Amino acid sequence: MKIAIIGYGKMGKAVANSPRLGSHEISAKIDLSAAGATAAEISAENLNGAEVAIDFTHPDSVVENIRQLAELKVPIVVGTTGWYEKLEEVKKIAAENSVGVLYAGNLSIGVQTFYAIVEHTAKLLTGKNFDAAIREIHHTGKADAPSGTAREIAEKVLANFPEKKAIILDNAEQPVPPEKLQISSARIGKVVGVHEVIFDSEHDSIRLEHSGKNRGGYAGGAIAAAEWLVKKNEAGVFTAKDWLGF
């Protein structure tokens, strides 16, 4: 399988160096300025025969990247976060160009398993007089806050824990209403990614945490998702639940 990497930053380089590549080939590394990139723009020539693309760029450029790749009939795995308000536009692009797009706030199989654990725990604690909150920590170079992963966790809590009705982002200057699910974000140093869900009651606390040790899990997951998308060979917009089945 020939893979084009769109965005040759930390995550793009992790994909290019992932043991999960095996016999797959990186046919293109497209980035406006990164050292080691093979081209600055998406084009049929620059993609060099790519059968699938993996995007780790910036929220502001994702939709245009998807549009250009879709017009070239190249399916896309999107690991970039912070653009989900434009999801309907992306669905239209995928349909008009008969191409597959798979997106996830986090492509790590470990994180996806963590999501399932959070969902199950939220269901178990419903009606049991527990409160809930989310904390996340990332490196100082991360473009969005809260992280896409934290937002996905929050959506899963809201869907399975009726005590919480809506998200509130930080809010240190006033009390948090009991029906709001608080997400706290911190940006420090080189932290790859830490996500914690806290369920707290008068008598005890339950803390669920996923901590990324390095980018290998995210890169390997992106390649596995690309394998699935190429094999599926269908138009449409897919999520990690479609890919992994949980």
C-alpha span between 223 and 14 (Å, rounded) = 11
Catalytic residue among 13, 142, 164, 210: 142
C-alpha span between 241 and 246 (Å, rounded) = 5
Catalytic residue among 138, 156, 164, 210: 138
Q: Is 139 a catalytic residue?
A: no
Nearest by Cα to 90 from 192, 237, 240: 237
Q: Is 142 a catalytic residue?
A: yes
Instruction: Tabulate helix, strand, coil % of the chain (nearest 5).
Output: 40, 25, 40
Question: What six digits make up the tokens of 86?
Answer: 């434009």
Listed in sequence order, the residues at least 6 apart from 62 whose beta carbon sits closer than 8 Å to its beta carbon are: 55, 78, 80, 83, 86
- Cite the active site residues: 138, 142
